[in-house]
Structure formats: C-alpha cells, structure tokens
Amino acid sequence: MSATAKSDPPRLSLRMRLLRWVVGRLRASGEAGAAPNHALLLLLSLAWGNVWYAASLSYLRHVGRRAAASPGPILECGSGATTLLIGALTVRRGVDYVVLEHNRQWFELLQRVLLAVDLPQVRLLHAPLVDYGRYRWYDVDAAGCAEGFDLVVCDGPPGSTPGGRYGLLPVMGARLSARCLILLDDTHRAAERHIIQMWRRYRILRVAPQGLRGRYTEVKLS
C-alpha cells in the first residue's frame, strides 16, 4: 500500500540489502507471471520499515495479483511499499508504470530507493496537489502524466486532503482506459465509501468490496 500517511522514512543503510533481495525475488515472480507469496510480502513490509502505515498483507497480495495480470499501463496515486511491489512484478514484462507523489521529501527518498533496488523503469513523478475548488488533486499536467491506464492503485492523496481521493475520476477520467480497474484502499472508512458514490455521477461503476470488512474495493469502469 502506498504510504499516504508519512512516518520516518526507511533507514536505507540498514534495510537496503533485504530490500534488494526481496525485490529480486519479486522480480522472479513477475517474470513467471505469478503473484508473490505471503512470506515475500511480509519480508517486503518488514524491509520497507514503515510498519504502521504500510499496506496490510491482504491488500499487498491483492495488488500483487492485479499488477501481475495487468495487460497495460498502471497508475499509482501515492507511493510506498506497493511501488516496489508493482515495479518488481512488471519490470520484465515492460508494462508502463506511473506513480504520482505530492510529497517532495518522500519523492526524493523513493527515487533513491528505486535506483538502489534496480527499478529505474518506474516513472515516479513529483505532482504537487493543486486546488480544483471543492477538492485537491495531483497536478498531473505539470508532471507530464500519461494516459490509457488499465489499472489504478489509489491510496493517495492523504485522507486529510480536501476531497480525499475524489479527484481521481473528475481529473483523470479521460486518461483511464474503458476497461480500467481501480483498487481503492481504506474503503472501510465512510469518506472513501462516499467518494465511490460521488464517482457514480461521472461513470457507471461496478463495485466489489474486498478484504476484511471491505477495507479496500475494486471499482470497475463500465
């Protein structure tokens, strides 16, 4: 899961060796077309070191399955452990993978991590949040964001942002493919469930809660 609430960044000098090993194993899983196993995901969470804000293993596993099977471009809103997971699973297949991150310090840290674990193909973009009136969303035009995304992993911007993650469809809708699948995290919260209802004003959606008590949800455009 993307670390939308930020704690101290991982201590690269202490954890990089394990991160490199885990990413290498994940890369092998992606090459074989398989989703990563539970043990690898647990090691990824531990190596990442942002335990309190890292994704649940259930969510990581679900993201891994979808990323391993995604035929086209992938977009992630927010960045964190899932960025390494998706990057490792898609690198050998040449799937375009774009990550939006508004926090400059976190962006610069993750840039260094991606290079250190040999995932330079990940298009990590610094996209500050801009005011759209009733909500804020990433400045995707200034960041040079692509389009035609088949999979969106949405765990940003932070819930404290005006409008939360609502801006995904009104701002990014034209950049999503007709078959796009959105994985929206934290849908056990009322705010995220309300966002899905608001999204229905823009598109016909098929909604399928996942995980314990619907902690994350698949939203399929139709």
> Domains of the chain (ranges plus CATH)?
12-221 (3.40.50.150)
CB 147 within 8 A of CB 75: no
Q: How far is CA 7 from the centre of its chain?
A: 17
pLDDT at residue 174 is higher than 60: yes
**Beta strand spans in 14-81 (E):** 74-77
Region 175-196: mean pLDDT is 94
Average pLDDT value for residue range 71-92: 94
pTM value? 0.89
Average pLDDT over residues 71-87: 94
SS (H, E, C) 67-112: HHHCCCCEEEECCEHHHHHHHHHHHHHCCCEEEEECCHHHHHHHHH
Q: Give the integer Cα–Cα distance in Å for 152 and 172.
A: 10
Identity of the amino acid at 173 = G
